[in-house]
Amino acid sequence: KLILKELEEESGIHDPLVSSIRLKLLAYDSRVHAYELITYIELKPEALDIAAASEEYPEIFWLKIDEITPFLNLHKDSILPISQMLLRRKLSEVNL
């Protein structure tokens, strides 16, 4: 329930738009001395139209799988290292 609450607070996407949530890993971010719970959240297609910016995330947008690597390369200085690692790991799983 906590993950669903966070998702709704940060994006406006609520429970009925979530198909599944899978815990991927627990990571420690030594930069901020905090643990991060990493989950894969599968959304229903209509969630793409619902997502809205929040106080914490002033902009939300979607990338196609083949747009991720160019996006990471272009914005590497503004993306947290743990996020970069997770995205690259996911890309390697889908064999791009």
Cβ count near 47 (within 10 Å): 20
pLDDT band, very low/low/confident/very high, at 95 (cuts 50, 70, 90): low
pTM: 0.72
9-67 per-position pLDDT tens digit: 889 899 999 999 998 889 888 888 988 888 989 999 999 888 888 888 888 888 888 99
pLDDT score, position 73: 93
Q: Which amino acid is at 17?
A: L
pLDDT band, very low/low/confident/very high, at 74 (cuts 50, 70, 90): very high
Buried b (16+ CB within 10 A) or exposed e, 54-71: eeeeeeeeeeeeeebeee
> Residue 16 is encoded by which pair of tokens?
């009925």
Q: Which amino acid is at 91?
A: L
> What mean pLDDT do residues 72-79 have?
92
List residues bridging with 42 in a β-sheet: 20
